[in-house]
Amino acid sequence: MSNNLVILPTFNEAESISGLITRILGEIADADILVVDGGSKDGTPESVSEIASRNNRVNLLQEGAKRGLGRAYIAGFEWGLKRGYSKLVEMDADNSHQVNDLKKLLDVAYADLVIGSRWVTGGQIVNWSRFRAALSRFANRYVELALRLGVNDATSGFRVYKAELLNRIDLKSIKSEGYTFQIEMTRAARSLNAKIREVSIVFKEREFGISKISRAIVLEAFFRVTYWGLKRIGGGGGI
């Protein structure tokens, strides 16, 4: 068994998942893969099962129904923690996150949480609309204004957690979905005085399929961050 586990949540990612798994297996020697599938109907779990039958570094967890990004990652964390992995990785399955950047994140020492950041020096976004980029920048600036997490890209879904940190976080208390999940996890890590480091990445818009971001996800983020921010100002919630 490898020391690292790369968790890939999927929902109808058949066009990209096989190629991504192949690249991770070929370029990252010390990493196993767990695909957490939320009831895909396009052949995604079948493609993963076929690869897993030939390579014991690949695993499939089928949830049967789409429960959301946060639930998928928590299921992946629990699966990996039970099996003793030392680092657990969040990574998109649509090729927006790059395998060469995964190497950079895994190589970082002396951090409990490593965030692949689009909004630090050296970070890049490829093929995003101006509106999407502006929305992401605004969201992260609003998060920092409200919560004071000391992080430039709190909404990033490309990150590495040490198992020790995840074992300290009450995962059952994490309720958010969408990119609000990333904010809530960062908030939980900061409340535990975790060492957090950001590393620049290149984020590329997906080539296949459609984005899972919806108006409901954006509204969830706004209202939860505002609530947490008011608690912080009022002294009712620490971070």
Residues in a beta bridge with 8: 35
Higher-confidence position of 159 and 2: 159
User: In the Cβ-directed half-sphere of 166, how many Cα atoms lie within 13 Å?
Assistant: 23
Domain range for 124: 4-234
Residue 189: inside a domain: yes
pLDDT at residue 4, rounded to an integer: 98
Identify the CATH number of the domain in which residue 168 sits. Answer: 3.90.550.10
Contact between residue 224 and residue 180 where contact means Cβ atoms under 8 Å apart: yes
Which has the minimum average pLDDT: 21-25, 27-31, 99-103, 214-218? 214-218
Q: Dihedral sign, CA of 92, 95, 99, 100?
A: negative
Query: For residue 160, which phi and psi values (nearest 5 degrees)?
Result: -125, 125
Is the pLDDT at 216 greater than 80, yes or no? no
Please check the confidence at residue 211 and state whether its pLDDT lies above 70. Answer: no
Asked if the structure places residue 35 within a domain, the reply is: yes
* Range from 148-152, 161-165, 178-182, 232-236 carrying the lowest mean pLDDT: 232-236
Instruction: For residue 130, tell me if it sits in a domain.
Output: yes
What is the band of 213 on the pLDDT scale with cuts at 50, 70, 90?
low
How many CB atoms within 10 Å of residue 67?
A: 17
Q: Is residue 197 part of a domain?
A: yes
Q: Which two tokens stand for residue 6?
A: 């790369």
CA distance 73 to 76: 5
Q: What is the DSSP letter of 28?
A: -
Q: 181 in a domain, yes or no?
A: yes
pTM for the predicted model, two decimal places? 0.92
The pLDDT tens digits of the residues spanning 65-122 come to 778 899 999 999 999 999 999 999 999 999 999 999 999 999 998 999 999 999 999 9
Contact 78, 163 (CB under 8 A): no
Domain-located, residue 239: no
Dist. CA 90–CA 209, nearest whole Å: 20
Q: Count of domains in the chain?
A: 1
Find, among 1, 218, 197, 214, the residue nearest to 111 by Cα.
197
